[in-house]
Structure formats: C-alpha cells, structure tokens
Chains A and B, each alone.
Chain A
Amino acid sequence: MTEAKTDIWQFQTQLAEKLLAWSAASVTGGVASLFFGDKFWRGFGSQCAGWGAIDALIALFGLRNAQTKANAPDAHTPERQTRERANLRRILWINFGLDVGYVMGGTALALTRGKHNPFLRGAGWGIVFQGGFLFLFDLLHALLLKE
C-alpha cells in the first residue's frame, strides 16, 4: 500500500498562507500593544509587530516562489517533487533549530536585562512567544512532510 503524496507546491502555498495569517495577527496585535500597552506590553508588541512583518515577507516570498516553481517544465514530475520535498523538509528542520535559539535568547533577555526593565522584559517574552510559535510551526510541518 502506497499512500498518495500531495503536491509539494500546494503544500508550500498552504504553509505560506498559514504563516501569512499568523503574521497579520501578530502585526495587528503588536501595533495595538505599541499604542495602548504599558512598557511591558510595548516591548512585547514591538517584537510581535517586527517578527510578524518579517514572517509576512518570508510568507510572500514562499507564495511567489511556489507559483514560479509550479510553472517549471519538470515541476510535476515525481523526481522534482521528491527533491523539493526533501529541500523544504531540510529548511524546516534548520528553522526548527534556530527557533530553539530564539526561545532561549528571548528567555535570557527577559530574565537578565529585562529584570529591571519592563520594556526589555516584554521584548524578551515577545521573542519567546514568536519563537515558540515558529518552533511548533516548523516542527509540525517538517513532520507532515513525510519521507
């Protein structure tokens, strides 16, 4: 029994769409916190807005990339799909490793320089929040991309 494999370009597109939705929510929530929050929430919101903006750029690049690649002459051959699947899986696992670093860095910031500075404490936990999401996001999608 051989489970059917889903189209890698649709997978990449849906991955980017989910990241885009997260980035929109992050930027909206982050900007609102910057305007209406106290020092802690301004720090937290600054990270959400910043990371959300970067995520949006990455997602838009991913969408464009999938659209372009889906038109390549060999885009719909099993060999190319397998290769791209392996590439995307590798990128997700590398990102997953970086995400661990973000979470640790954010925690360190919150607990050290943020100890007496509410803005930096908020920024630190903001990094943990964004890094934590990406940690789960990258891990789950890497696992979903079965061999």
Chain B
Amino acid sequence: MLADVSERTNTIQTILNPAWYQGHNRRSPYFEGWYFKLVDRTEAHRYAIIPAVFLTEGGEGPHAFVQVFDGVNGKMTYVPYPLSDFWAAEDRFEVHVGPNVFTTTAINLDIRHPDLTLQGDITFHDPHPWPVTLFSPGIMGWYAWIPLMECYHGVLSLDHALAGGFTIDGQAVDFGGGRGYIEKDWGQSFPSGWVWMQTNHFDAPGTSLTGSIAMIPWIGRAFRGFIVGVWHNEILYRFATYTGAKTEYLHINDDVVAWLITDRLYYLMINAYRGNAVDLRGPSKMDMGVRVPEMLTAEIKVRLATRRGDHTIFEGRGRNAGLEVAGDLDTLAGKPL
C-alpha cells in the first residue's frame, strides 16, 4: 500500500518535471531521448547530441545510445551502449549513458567510436524552460496527464548560452558564446507523420521558435495536434490544439513547409525552407528503424502579428534551424482543417 502511494507520488512528480527521466517502472516498448542542440558562436559548428534509452523485445533489443549529428557536414553517428550502462536519477534530470553525462546545465561527453571520437564539457547558462503548471505541465498542456499516449514531448530550454568545448576527431571546437536548445521525447513510438522545427538564431537575440504538428492517435481514431511556442522579448506565445489555436493551412512540398496558425488574438505565419536532410534513427514499437530526416541547415521565416490591427509583434528569419518532415505527410497535410 505504502509502495503504491509512493509510486503514484513519484509518477506525479515526474509528470510535473518533464525534464526528468519518465521511464522508471516503464516496460517495453518504451523510448526516451533528449535532444541537445549546440551551435558555436561563429555558427560554423552545429551539433545535435541525442542521448536515449530504448526498451524493446525486437530488433537490437533493449539498449541505450548517444546519437551525434553533425549538422554542417551531414554526418550521423549512432553509438550504442548496453542497457546496463544507462542510469537516470529519480529526483532530478541527470542521465548517464556510458561515460557520458547529461543534465539541464551541462553535458560531459567521452565518445570513442570507430567513426567518431568526441570528448569535452559544455555548460549551459540561464536556460529558459517551457513553463510547468499543475494543469499544463509543459508544452504538452493537459495532455501530459493522459496516460498511454503514443509520444510525449518536453521543452527543457528554449534558449541558453554555451560555455566550454569539445575535441572532435582531434580538433578542438570552442562552443563558448554559442547558443543551445534542449528538448525531449518519450513514449512508445514516434507518430505516423510529423513536422518538427526549431530555431533560436534570429537577428534579434533571445528569440526562439519551436513547433511540431503530428497525427495523434486518440480513442481509436487520430487527430492532427500541434504545439508551437514563440519566445520573444522574454514572453512566450503559445499556440496549441489545447489552447484553442487553429491551423489555417499547412502546405508541404520539397522546398518549403508553409504553416499558418491563428488564435483569437494573433496569427503566426511560418515558412520553413528545407535544406539537405540526413537520416537519424527514431523509435518504432519494435526497433530503432524509423527514418528521421533531419537537418540543422534550414531557415525559418516567422511573422507573429495581432489579428486586429495587424500589428507586428515579431518578424524575422531564423538560421541553423532544425527541421524534420517525416512519415505520412499526405494524411498530415491533407487532413481536413
């Protein structure tokens, strides 16, 4: 009885702390991965570092890994570790994958792989997480409380400064003065189709855009759900299915993703210009076989304005943008509005 109460209390605590590892007491199929985007001051080095754990009976079996994506050279390195090399704290965000350590304030990497050696420490200064409240624990809104959703999402920092550096294949890279972004996903598998985008490299510093739209399985059916945040001038503008915002259109072609979102007050126009994508590995219920075409070279044009008066709140073009356009896009883009 006491153990049950304690387990439930822990579950509530972890939901209210989306950064923490959510997978204690979870069984296969289950995945959880954190996405650390790092861009140096010159913007000549852009990396996505993805530590994750994957519990499955199929494919390669349960294991942990660190995926390193070099966004400039388009090189992806998947570094697997035995499950026993994965450790996550129960009362804070701290994850170890082999000798690599990840927290909200720093990452320490020691990767020795035939395709990549990468060592070093980077610290994060003044991260800005998505706000968490009892009724809206993070970017998922109240959906975070719904058990058994296919995939959950969290934004741990919309923007922060970097300090420190890596030695990558023998070459020292200084990330000091660069900018970073952190998010995560967890659940059973990635959605059947989705678009995800992120950039915090606008001309006006301290501005960040993160957004995704996906087919969400829901009580035997599926709906198109989306969550977008524009953080500008220390203010977070939220547009999501759960806030009552609407997608007016979503057009996807080989060159651009054009997306118009409105709510009662504002409209948000997004044009994401696609670059060359590299396939990362994402989870299905069986294995890490989902192809995730990702790029860190996209550009995103954004305009946020009031509906009444058409007063521009923010307009800019984001560089070094992460962009994923994956899965069943016909259903995603073709779904009646």
- Chain A interfacial positions (CB closer than 8 Å to B): 1-7, 9-10, 13-14, 17, 63, 66-68, 70-71, 76-78, 81, 140, 144, 146
Q: Given the interface contacts A13-B265, A144-B135, does A1 sit within 8 Å of B127 by beta carbon?
A: yes
For residue B139, give the distance in angstroms from its CB to the closest CB of chain A: 10
Q: Which of A6, A13, A78 contacts B264 (CB 8 A)?
A: A13
Residues of B close to A13: CB separation below 8 A: 263-265
State whether A2 touches B238 (Cβ < 8 A).
Answer: no
Q: Which of B232, B238, B263, B308 contacts A6 (CB 8 A)?
A: B238
Q: Is B317 an interface residue (CB 8 A)?
A: no
For residue B75, give the distance in angstroms from its CB to the closest CB of chain A: 32
- Chain B interfacial positions (CB closer than 8 Å to A): 104-105, 126-133, 135, 158, 229, 231-238, 243-244, 263-266, 306, 308-309, 311, 313
State whether A76 touches B131 (Cβ < 8 A).
Answer: no
Q: Given the interface contacts A10-B263, A10-B265, A71-B311, does A4 sit within 8 Å of B158 by beta carbon?
A: yes
State whether B235 touches A7 (Cβ < 8 A).
Answer: yes
Q: Given the interface contacts A5-B236, A71-B311, A140-B135, does A66 sit within 8 Å of B265 by beta carbon?
A: yes
Q: Secondary structure at chain B's binding surface: helix, strand, loop or mixed?
A: loop
Q: How far is the CA of A81 from the CA of B236 in the complex (A)?
A: 11
Q: Which of B105, B135, B236, B264 contacts A4 (CB 8 A)?
A: B236
Interface centre among B158, B229, B264, B313 (most CB of A within 10 A): B264
Residues of A close to B132: CB separation below 8 A: 3
Q: How far is the CA of A113 from the CA of B161 in the complex (A)?
A: 66
Residues of B close to A70: CB separation below 8 A: 265-266, 306, 308
For residue A30, give the distance in angstroms from its CB to the closest CB of chain B: 25
Q: Which of A1, A4, A67 contacts B265 (CB 8 A)?
A: A67
State whether A5 touches B263 (Cβ < 8 A).
Answer: no
Residues of A close to B236: CB separation below 8 A: 4-7
State whether A1 touches B104 (Cβ < 8 A).
Answer: yes
Residues of A close to B306: CB separation below 8 A: 70-71
Q: How far is the CA of A10 from the CA of B231 in the complex (A)?
A: 13
State whether B238 touches A7 (Cβ < 8 A).
Answer: yes
Q: Given the interface contacts A7-B235, A7-B236, A81-B235, does A1 sit within 8 Å of B126 by beta carbon?
A: yes
